[in-house]
Structure 1
Amino acid sequence: DGVCDFGQLSADELTALFNRIEVNEVWGVGRRLTEKLAGMGITTVRALRDADPTLIRREASVVLERTVRELRGVSCLALEDVAPNKQQIMSSRSFGETVTARIDLEQAVSTYIARAAEKLRRQRSLANAVQVHIRTNPFSERQPQYQRGIIVPLTQATSDTMRLTQAALWGLKRIFRPGFAYQKAGVMLMDLHSENQVQGVLFAAAAPARPALMDVIDRANARWGGGTLKLAAEGVKKPWQMKRERVTPSYTTRWDELPRVN
């Protein structure tokens, strides 16, 4: 099937195979390194495997030394079966055109919160705080400059897009200043922890639980594309949205972007 499982080969079979493979077939061994190894008498994978690791490290690099040890069956890099959960989740974009109205910033911030909240739920985490930041174009010398950020603590940790959006818009209202041409906005979900480690807050009003609704939104957007289901706060036309005319189509994840053959 075009796949060779080295683990199924005996030591003699593996040595014979390595003896037939040129050293430049090893990952990370380019033309210059191939020439240098040839000068050391190393032209095959077998010769590289049998080389002195200390010599390889001195003459080449610690990375190639690890390769030599890996060829000998010694694991040098631990593999992560599951990527660790993120401690912060950010969503931030530059606008396709500058915006001056607060309503446009509110739509952008709401859209970024929705993206970040989806990632938050995907790793089954909750956020204890939301950061919002906005800024003008620092490279535009003719425009007045302004940038500001704010962190909004939450009374209860959540992954609910509605609650996170409410907090983010509350923060945006306090840092927004009229009279500026804003070029970028972003949000960050902070102080994350597992949804299994929920701490109650004394005297705090119980927040509405909408896990079923959030699940429906996530499933619909995963199946039919991001933004299929969204909050009204995200807007519709979005003149501020980043220009994406030249973006590479998502052939492997979006049905509507599959190439057509006539």
Structure 2
Amino acid sequence: MIGLVDCNSFYVSCERVFQPRLRGRPVGVMSNNDGCVIALSTELKALGIKMGTPAFELQHQIRRGQIHLLSSNYELYGDMSARVQDVLQEFSAGVEPYSIDEMFVRFDGLESAQMLEHARQLHDRVRQYTGIPVCVGVAPTRTLAKLANRAAKKIAAYQGVCVLQSDSRETQVLLKKIELGDVWGVGRRLVERLAVMGIKSAWDLAQANPKEIRRRFSVTLERTALELRGIPCIEMNDFHEPRQRIMTSRSFGKLTDNLDEIREALRQHGQRGAEKLRSQGSLARAVYVFLKTNPFREDLPQYSPGAVVELSRPTDDSREVLRAAGHALERIYRPHYLYQKGGVMLLDLIAADRQQLSLLDTPQTDAERQRSATVMSVMDELNQRMGRGTVKLGTPSPGAAWHLRCANLTQRYTTRWDELLVARTK
């Protein structure tokens, strides 16, 4: 059996752990630059506010104190996610992260009679140790576990925990009620094509001929159909596979044509991309840099260039990545354009332990490579221990245009010494 633990309104819940005054109130978290709402509490949804609603449309409700919108605090959310995962690892046979707020959990070695009790214990321990409310769905397959989790969240009678057996009456009733669009991996276009065949519910797909599904659609959908029958077919190995390219980009806080500020922004993106490169044990052979103006500002001239710079050798050294990104920027930058966004993409990635060395390499080259690895390792260790950005290449200018708008950013309570929660007595 495998479980799926899903944190409820995760971003909002992280904020509420440290700000109890927000509990029971309509709260939302905004996207980068405070652009639109990307996370909503149940109370905010009840007011009819939808995901993606532009923040400026809600200013009148904010001023009246009817709702509370906060800036994204990703450093806090990432650390709280790691804490939830630590709790799950302590009380389970293994954890497979699926996203920042969802984790698959192994329930190996437990008898069926123990499953519900253990799932409830997991549900309670995460809330007790981290303050984050979760729902737990347990089933023989990952696809059924997803549906069990959905039932635990939507059906009050489950009280946040749902355990399904593949051959139970309860599972059959649930599958008949679930529409195809709510099944993991079944998109809107597939729903339309399956409807032509008379397949309209999760139960219909489970009863369909798997070979026919594979012939007319794909092996992926065949596996989904088998998983709905309780036959495990989907593993999470792909989650752990190294990415083939690494993109780091973000919109600027405001439009700018200042070359120095744009260079600073790309420097931050390049360093972050190199960190991700090292964390997955890869090397990059090329660096792609792009800039974009605002396509919705028809009153402004438009220019969205990009350039690729090939590296002299595969590397994960931030300094070499930034040097290449700087050359690319020099090639594409044009004055008198107001840029809205810039980014750095690392291309043609290979595994660090499989790189093919050149016949022209010398002992000096090997020594340089070793020194590079040592410097980068020390930087990563310090940033991991002391907080991201403790050691960086180049000092960003305060107040530069590329800095994000974060007018309602809360403290990074768990990762910054100077932002720890302070208890005061009257």
**TM-score with structure 1 length normalisation?**
0.71
1:161 equivalent in alignment to 2:329: no
CA–CA separation in structure 2 for the residues paired with 1:175 and 1:211: 31
Aligned twin of 1:180:
337
One-letter amino acid matched to 1:29: I
Structure 2 alignment gaps of length 5 or more:
1-116, 120-137, 142-163, 183-202
Task: Trace 1:234-253 onto structure 2 (pairs within 5 A).
Answer: 234-245=396-407
Indicate conservation of the 8 Å contact 1:106/1:234, yes or no.
no
One-letter amino acid matched to 2:118: G
- Give the direction of change, closer, same or farther, for the CA distance of 1:53–1:249 in structure 2 (3 Å limit): farther
Task: Trace 1:6-17 onto structure 2 (pairs within 5 A).
Answer: none
Indicate conservation of the 8 Å contact 1:130/1:188, yes or no.
yes
SS in 2 for 1:151: strand
1:23 equivalent in alignment to 2:173: yes
Q: Larger C-alpha radius of gyration, 1 or 2? A: 1
Aligned twin of 2:118:
2
- Give the direction of change, closer, same or farther, for the CA distance of 1:212–1:73 in structure 2 (3 Å limit): same
Tell me the alpha carbon deviations over residues 96-143 of structure 1, each in whole angstroms, 9 at most, x when there is no partner.
Answer: 101111101110110000111111001100000001111211111111
- Shift, 1:156, TM fit: 0.8
Task: Trace 1:1-262 onto structure 2 (pairs within 5 A).
Answer: 1-3=117-119, 18-19=168-169, 23-24=173-174, 29=178, 52-54=207-209, 69-70=226-227, 73-80=230-237, 83-201=240-358, 206=365, 209-232=371-394, 234-245=396-407, 254=415
One-letter amino acid matched to 1:241: H
SS in 2 for 1:116: helix
SS in 1 for 2:262: helix
Indicate conservation of the 8 Å contact 2:140/2:232, yes or no.
no
Structure 1 alignment gaps of length 5 or more:
8-13, 34-47
One-letter amino acid matched to 2:380: D
User: How many percent identity over aligned positions?
Assistant: 35
One-letter amino acid matched to 1:149: G
CA–CA separation in structure 2 for the residues paired with 1:66 and 1:202: 46
One-letter amino acid matched to 1:228: T
Aligned twin of 1:43:
none
Tell me the alpha carbon deviations over residues 47-88 of structure 1, each in whole angstroms, 9 at most, x when there is no partner.
Answer: x7xx85549x99xxx999867744755223234276211111
Greater per-residue helix proportion: 2
CA–CA separation in structure 1 for the residues paired with 2:420 and 2:168: 41
One-letter amino acid matched to 1:186: G
- Give the direction of change, closer, same or farther, for the CA distance of 1:161–1:66 in structure 2 (3 Å limit): closer
Q: Which structure is higher in RCO with an 8 Å CA cutoff and minimum separation 6? A: 1
CA–CA separation in structure 1 for the residues paired with 2:403 and 2:385: 22
One-letter amino acid matched to 2:291: I
- Give the direction of change, closer, same or farther, for the CA distance of 1:70–1:136 in structure 2 (3 Å limit): closer
- Give the direction of change, closer, same or farther, for the CA distance of 1:5–1:128 in structure 2 (3 Å limit): closer
**TM-score with structure 2 length normalisation?**
0.46
CA–CA separation in structure 1 for the residues paired with 2:209 and 2:390: 57
- Shift, 1:93, TM fit: 0.9
- Give the direction of change, closer, same or farther, for the CA distance of 1:143–1:5 in structure 2 (3 Å limit): closer
